[in-house]
Structure 1
């Protein structure tokens, strides 16, 4: 069974205009003993949530009527749906701007993503990301670098090596909308000191491969802030330097 609760402490976004992002609860709040009476500790997605809030704050400060904002949902994908009151309390205690809470289980969490018109699902579990992708929902993994990502700037990395290799054909419309909206959001800010940074990294090939990747992104309304051509070099050191909040692969953009 799927249930959705609106956060009355957060101004609700216009979902037809906003960029709707769902984050797995397990990546936001660490699972603890539900009988200890304490709020749950924050997980790896904390810098991401703070960065999304920072972007929204900058957008509203520039235009109080702005509708192109991040609309953040927290989604349970396991038995923690039974801890709904505690999850809501913990989120509010830590001041996280979550618009809605979707309580579901392993078998029906994708249904909650579809019902809420989610455009990007973020999780630390590859199996969950693959399940969402199969239903046409753009998904990405939150990796170890998420812990050290900045909270004052959202950093999205497009890499020409797939993060999730199984990408269905029905993903194309959702992907195009996501990149189009993200690109439009980035255009709201200037070249310097933007709270949104779009990074590109090609793992293989030379300058031509990088150039082709940039052209593809531009065709979807996205201009990159940084571009890196690894030409087969190890990705680890570059990822540690770039500190992206999440990665999207070339299988996610056709």
Structure 2
């Protein structure tokens, strides 16, 4: 059984135009740790990423108060945690997070809850949940301790060469279609900001090949409406050093992936 509760503390987004992001309560909060002794849960590894999403929304609304292309965040919990629902709600309020809806389901029904809420990006710390969601065509990000040190002021998305979806007459798997659609939505958001001081930053990294490979990847991204801020051609070099400097929130690949080398 899946149930969803709207958060009356925040303005609801236009679900027909918003980019819907779901985050698990285990990723967002440390449920065994209280913050400041007031009963609110301490922030988890997903906290900087959600702050970065919120920062994008704030700047979009500053430019156009009627903007509808915004991130819409849903907090997801399982049946065993429903008794803690009031604490999840008060914890989001305590941390100033604009979570618009709280979705409760059993562990067996969490995929149904993703599909029912039209989730376009799923954030979790559970590798098995990532695999299940990706198989159902829901782009997913596996968060870990590295996520906790990412920027909260700018949303940083990394594209790798195997993430570029080139035109093809062959049927596209659901995960690749979903990744392409999500990329296009992000591209539309990025276009609303100038070249400098954008709260949304795209970086392209090509792992192999030279200049031609990088140019081909750039053209492929532009074909789906994505223009990158930075591009790096590694030509076979390991990607770990550049990733340690860039600290992207997530990598866009055939589905979504964590950033382990």
Residue in 2 that maps onto 1:186: 190
Cα deviation per residue 1:118-157 (whole Å; 9 max; x = unaligned)? 1111222221111111111111222443222111111111
Give the Cα–Cα distance (whole angstroms) in 2 for the partners of residues 232 and 175 of structure 1.
Answer: 25
Residue in 2 that maps onto 1:5: 5
Q: Which runs of 5+ in 2 are unaligned?
A: 164-171, 257-261
Give the Cα–Cα distance (whole angstroms) in 1 for the partners of residues 220 and 255 of structure 2.
Answer: 12
| Matched ranges for 1:123-142 at <5 A | 123-142=124-143
Compare the two structures and name the one with the higher strand fraction.
2
Give the Cα–Cα distance (whole angstroms) in 2 for the partners of residues 156 and 236 of structure 1.
Answer: 16
Q: Which runs of 5+ in 1 are unaligned?
A: 163-167
Structure-2 change in CA distance of 1:161 and 1:82 (3 Å):
farther
Structure-2 change in CA distance of 1:197 and 1:81 (3 Å):
same
| Matched ranges for 1:74-89 at <5 A | 74-77=75-78, 79-89=80-90
Give the Cα–Cα distance (whole angstroms) in 1 for the partners of residues 144 and 241 of structure 2.
Answer: 14
Please say if residues 176 and 254 of structure 2, whose CA atoms lie closer than 8 Å, have aligned partners that are also in contact.
no
Please say if residues 160 and 250 of structure 1, whose CA atoms lie closer than 8 Å, have aligned partners that are also in contact.
no
Residue in 2 that maps onto 1:210: 214
- Point out 4+ residue stretches in structure 1 off by more than 4 angstroms: none
Give the Cα–Cα distance (whole angstroms) in 2 for the partners of residues 158 and 195 of structure 1.
Answer: 17
| Matched ranges for 1:11-160 at <5 A | 11-32=11-32, 38-77=39-78, 79-160=80-161
Give the number of aligned pairs.
Answer: 246
RMSD: 2.0
Cα deviation per residue 1:27-86 (whole Å; 9 max; x = unaligned)? 11012179x972211111111111111111101111111001111111125732332121
- TM-superposed CA distance for 1:251, in Å, is 5.2
Residue in 2 that maps onto 1:221: 225
Structure-2 change in CA distance of 1:80 and 1:203 (3 Å):
farther
Cα deviation per residue 1:189-210 (whole Å; 9 max; x = unaligned)? 0001101001111223322222
Mean alpha-carbon deviation: is it higher for 117-126 or for 12-21? 117-126
